[in-house]
């Protein structure tokens, strides 16, 4: 590897990851080489014929080894981009997924005239949903809660790094149990995998995301039942509700919400699909009484 140029290192990395059946070999090799060398994508292209620095070469190889064993890029680098924000992630947080941006977009499309909404994010993890909303809505304030101290620490650090920590607070709470001011908007991406399906998850998920972020109980719907039952504690009457769901859960989650008096059909309400066309978000309104 001595005397290897940046573009040779990149090709070698791509081939190595392909051999290890990593579907996104080309992208991953590039992102890992950028991180190892501290170079932007453009700089990599412009300086492809320069020799890679020895320490960068060693770090790159370490990253490739970890990736070839199935560790996701975000976990190797300890960060992930979400809604254009650079978020820190840790072993205590779910790795925020691009699909969850569908929920952020749904809320932004619907907050409408509410100039200073108060937002609650139940099961905030690294803070992805709340921080994306606060960064897009400069007058909004929000409270993220989680059952994991480690996740809350990460979310706070992310809020500081993004510069919204004066409008974001994070507390330990079993869903909505902590009493606060009632919210105009309640969002959640709760764990929604049925327990029996957990052993079959892709290798990037199993063993890297914390179990607490995935396990939705016997049928994957338990957190929705808990959250629905706690709506009077967290949501103003008629508050906007946006919950991420698994692809087969739309009707069941709408049934749970309408069972507690929430509105699930009407203008702007219903099920939304992600970019791949799969059901991904339920938008509803909290009970009005
Ligand atoms: C699927 S992850 C979502 C994380 C983040 N909102 C996101 O979209 O990236 C679910 C989160 O719910 C949290 N959680 C699980 N059970 C909880 C409970 N009873 N009360 C509050 N949070 C809980 C987990 O710790 C995890 O951070």
DSSP 2-16: TT-BHHHHHHHHHHH
Cα 245 to ligand 1 centre (Å): 13
87 vs 196: which has the higher pLDDT? 87
pLDDT of residue 113 exceeding 70: no
pLDDT value of residue 198: 87
**What's the mean pLDDT in 1-20?**
92
289 confidence band (pLDDT: 50, 70, 90): confident
The residue contributing the CA closest to ligand 1 atom 2 is 213
Beta bridge mates, 141: 118
pLDDT value of residue 206: 65
pLDDT of residue 253 exceeding 60: yes
**What's the mean pLDDT in 260-285?**
97
124 assigned to a ligand binding site: yes
pLDDT of residue 208 exceeding 90: no
pLDDT value of residue 199: 84
**What's the mean pLDDT in 42-64?**
95
Residue reference for tokens 């706690």: 230
2 confidence band (pLDDT: 50, 70, 90): low
112 confidence band (pLDDT: 50, 70, 90): confident
85 vs 289: which has the higher pLDDT? 85
Which residues, including other chains, have CB under 8 Å from residue 267's CB and lie 6 or more apart?
Answer: none
Cα 214 to ligand 1 centre (Å): 8
CA distances to 42, 175, 187 from 127, in Å: 30, 14, 11
Q: Average pLDDT of the chain?
A: 94
The residue contributing the CA closest to ligand 1 atom 11 is 123
**What's the mean pLDDT in 182-191?**
97
pLDDT value of residue 204: 63
- Superfamily holding 79-285: Vaccinia Virus protein VP39 (3.40.50.150)
125 assigned to a ligand binding site: yes
Mutation choice for ligand 1 from 75, 213, 216, CB with most ligand atoms inside 8 A: 213
Alpha helix locations (H) across the chain? 6-19, 25-37, 41-46, 54-68, 73-77, 101-110, 128-136, 149-162, 222-229, 231-234, 250-259
Instruction: Using a pLDDT cut of 70, give the percent of the chain over it.
Output: 97
pLDDT value of residue 201: 79
Residues contacting ligand 1 via CB (< 6 Å): 94, 96, 100, 123-126, 128-129, 145-148, 151, 174-175, 189-191, 212-213
Residue reference for tokens 């791509």: 14
3 confidence band (pLDDT: 50, 70, 90): confident
191 assigned to a ligand binding site: yes
Instruction: Using a pLDDT cut of 90, give the percent of the chain over it.
Output: 90
200 vs 225: which has the higher pLDDT? 225
pLDDT value of residue 200: 82
**Which is the closest atom of ligand 1 to the Cα of 124?**
6
Mutation choice for ligand 1 from 147, 155, 214, CB with most ligand atoms inside 8 A: 147
CA nearest 103: which of 252, 245, 203, 1? Answer: 245
**Which is the closest atom of ligand 1 to the Cα of 125?**
27
**What's the mean pLDDT in 271-276?**
96
Cα 93 to ligand 1 centre (Å): 8
Contact, 234 vs 122, CB < 8 A?
Answer: yes
DSSP 3-state of 135: helix
**What's the mean pLDDT in 38-55?**
94
**What's the mean pLDDT in 97-110?**
96
The residue contributing the CA closest to ligand 1 atom 17 is 147
pLDDT value of residue 249: 98
């Amino acid at each position: 590897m001595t005397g290897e140029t940046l573009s040779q290192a990149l090709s070698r990395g791509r081939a190595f990851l392909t051999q290890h059946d990593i579907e996104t070999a080309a992208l991953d090799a590039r992102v890992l080489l950028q991180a190892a060398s501290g170079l932007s994508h453009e700089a990599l292209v412009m300086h492809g014929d320069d020799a890679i620095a020895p320490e960068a070469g060693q770090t790159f190889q370490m990253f490739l080894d970890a990736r070839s064993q199935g560790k996701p890029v975000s976990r190797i680098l300890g960060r992930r981009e979400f809604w254009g924000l650079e978020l820190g992630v840790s072993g205590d947080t779910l790795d925020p997924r691009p699909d969850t941006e569908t929920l952020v977009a749904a809320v932004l499309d619907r907050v409408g005239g509410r100039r200073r909404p108060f937002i609650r994010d139940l099961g905030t993890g690294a803070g992805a949903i709340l921080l994306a909303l606060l960064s897009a809505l400069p007058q909004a304030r929000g409270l993220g809660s989680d059952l994991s101290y480690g996740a809350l620490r990460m979310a706070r650090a992310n809020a500081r790094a993004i510069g919204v920590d004066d409008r974001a607070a994070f507390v330990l709470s079993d869903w909505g149990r902590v009493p606060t001011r009632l919210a105009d908007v309640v969002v959640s991406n709760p764990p929604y995998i049925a327990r029996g399906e957990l052993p079959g998850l892709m290798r990037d998920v199993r063993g890297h995301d914390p179990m607490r972020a995935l396990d939705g109980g016997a049928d994957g719907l338990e957190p929705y039942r808990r959250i629905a039952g706690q709506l009077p504690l967290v949501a103003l009457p008629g508050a906007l509700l946006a919950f991420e769901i698994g692809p087969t859960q739309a009707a069941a989650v709408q049934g749970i919400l309408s069972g507690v008096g929430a509105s699930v059909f009407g203008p702007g309400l219903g099920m939304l699909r992600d970019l791949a066309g799969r059901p991904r978000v339920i938008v509803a309104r909290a009970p009005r009484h």
